[in-house]
Amino acid sequence: MRLLLVGANGQVGDALRRSLAPLGEVIATTRSGRLDDETSCEALDLGDLDAIASLVARVHPDVIVNAAAYTAVDRAEDEVEAAFRINALAPGRLAEAAVACGASLVHYSTDYVFDGRGSRPYRDDDTTDPLGVYGRSKLDGELAITASGARHLILRTAWVYGLHGHNFLRTMLRVGAERDELRVVADQHGCPTPAWLIADVTAAVLRKGIAESGIRHLVASGETTWHGFAEAIFDEASERGLIARRPTVIPIATSDYPTRAVRPAYSVLDTTRLRDEYAPELPDWRDALARTLA
């Protein structure tokens, strides 16, 4: 299998470089044309829409895996054009290029396509209603891929973290080592999901073959709040000797921590269809956290 991995330096992209390697030849792309270890790779800036088709045609992959995205949720409120270019227009161009060379496309989307007013886990066919620019741009990317006619799998995930890149886990470990007390939002509910799990499930899906084009939800099992996630991080980190002392984590309301973009209050995702089709191992989020820190 020949796989084109777009966004190989991101936290999911970095994990995908490992998980996709056993499937065949992985051609990685980054904006700079260099990986984090300074080795060279293909250069692709998704902001340059006209560069997408020519690179895909030259590489001629069997599968395109798009792990690149504009993920600055708050900044997107002011950088609307950039968010839509990367999250909506570029995935559409990748899908069109996939059709032209007969490739399949795997793309990642987000829980932010929902308004968070639900009270049960969101299914992949539930009505979408994004609250902000980031969510709208990701939803438009989903729609562009669907409209392209490409054979595709859109994997919606949430609360992504890992030991690579910028994410909640690394922020907590850094700030927790500096402070005795932290205030963390306790009224937003979701599914913390490590990058390695997303990458491993993606590889397992591709090994079996995409069963049916469409959207599937991919998150760890269970649910928690940001406060609950922070508490679990410090419990695990303390047990493993990763921090010298455990800070106190004080629960606060979203209204006590205003942000430029509105976050969904409840964005737990239902993974039933993914599990029915591919039978992936989706561990409880606490077990996934423990494995990540191990």
Surface-to-core class of residue 117, CB atoms within 10 Å of its CB (0-12 exposed, 13-18 middle, 19+ buried) = exposed
Is 134 annotated as catalytic? yes
Distance CA 24, CA 120 (A): 39
Catalytic residue chosen out of the listed positions 70, 134, 161, 278: 134
Residue 52 neighbours by CB under 8 Å, 6+ apart: 44, 46, 90, 93, 94, 97
Distance CA 79, CA 83 (A): 6
Count CB atoms within 10 A of the CB of residue 232: 18
Count CB atoms within 10 A of the CB of residue 180: 9
Block residue for tokens 């599937």: 216
Largest CA distance in the chain: 56
Task: Evaluate whether 20 touches 31 at the Cβ level (below 8 Å).
Answer: no
- Active-site residues, by number, are 134
